[in-house]
């Protein structure tokens, strides 16, 4: 065999694709098994703790007073068939709801109590008027009353959940820094 043909044979071996399917299959199988173990709860305590922290911070079950307020504003609009996206400002959205509420008071005053119950305002201890006024003027006295009721509700919700309740959503301090 000439040195040139030996060199060509070596080059062909190097350039040919590897056909070791058993090795790649076993690597793939072990990777899938590793992922399945991780999803089954296996893993280091650090990984498990990080998962629990992420769940508590980003879970839809952890609502703070501001999130509750935003959802309540949206729900009251839906009760009157008013979509917040149709308005440029919270003031104009609240004014449209206020107009609809005034119309409802004239037509069917008894249905106001039903709406208050449906929205959970009776549990918060505020009226539908208070809620609508808080939408129109969030910095007014009705806005403060709504905020206090929602903060109390968020605090009460946290107290009933045991150890996990000691976690409060991260809030900035007086100078805008986040911390524990």
172 pairs with which residues across the strands? Answer: 178
pTM greater than the 0.85 cutoff:
no
> d(Cα 80, Cα 124) in Å, to the nearest integer?
20
pLDDT surpassing 60 at residue 64: yes
Q: Does 108 reside within a domain? A: yes
Q: Does 1 reside within a domain? A: no
The whole-number pLDDT of residue 103 equals 93
Count: domains in the chain: 1
Give the pLDDT band of residue 55 (cuts 50, 70, 90): low
Q: What's the Cα-to-Cα distance from 118 to each of 72, 128, 136, 145, rounded to whole Å? A: 11, 11, 21, 19
User: Domain range for residue 106?
Assistant: 65-162
Tokens at 6, concatenated: 């030996």
Q: Does 142 reside within a domain? A: yes
- Count of residues making up the chain: 180
Q: Report pLDDT digits (tens) over 103-123.
A: 999 998 889 889 989 998 888
Nearest to 125, CA basis, from 103, 96, 89, 150: 150
The whole-number pLDDT of residue 11 equals 63
Q: How large is the average pLDDT for residues 88-98?
A: 93
Q: Where do we find the tokens 């009776």? A: 122
> d(Cα 94, Cα 97) in Å, to the nearest integer?
5
Q: Does 144 reside within a domain? A: yes
Contact 41, 48 (CB under 8 A): yes
Nearest to 90, CA basis, from 127, 48, 45, 133: 133
pLDDT surpassing 50 at residue 19: yes
Q: Does 106 reside within a domain? A: yes
Q: Does 155 reside within a domain? A: yes
Q: Does 34 reside within a domain? A: no
Give the pLDDT band of residue 163 (cuts 50, 70, 90): very low
Q: Does 15 reside within a domain? A: no
Q: How large is the average pLDDT for residues 87-92?
A: 92
Q: Where do we find the tokens 């939408």? A: 135
């Amino acid at each position: 065999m000439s040195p040139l043909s030996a060199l060509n044979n070596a080059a062909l071996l190097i350039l040919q694709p590897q056909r070791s399917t058993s090795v790649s299959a076993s690597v793939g199988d072990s990777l899938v098994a590793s992922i399945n173990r991780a999803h089954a709860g296996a893993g280091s305590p650090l990984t498990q703790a990080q998962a629990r922290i992420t769940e508590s911070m980003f879970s839809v079950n952890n609502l703070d007073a501001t999130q509750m307020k935003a959802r309540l504003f949206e729900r009251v609009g839906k009760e009157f068939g008013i979509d917040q996206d149709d308005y440029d400002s919270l003031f104009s959205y609240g004014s449209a709801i206020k107009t609809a509420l005034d119309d409802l008071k004239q037509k069917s005053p008894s249905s106001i109590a039903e709406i208050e119950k449906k929205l959970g305002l009776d549990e918060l201890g505020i009226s539908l008027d208070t809620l609508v006024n808080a939408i129109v003027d969030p910095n007014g006295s009705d806005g403060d009353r709504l905020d206090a009721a929602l903060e109390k509700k968020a605090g009460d919700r946290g107290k009933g959940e045991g150890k996990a309740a000691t976690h409060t959503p991260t809030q900035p301090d007086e100078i805008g820094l986040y911390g524990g």
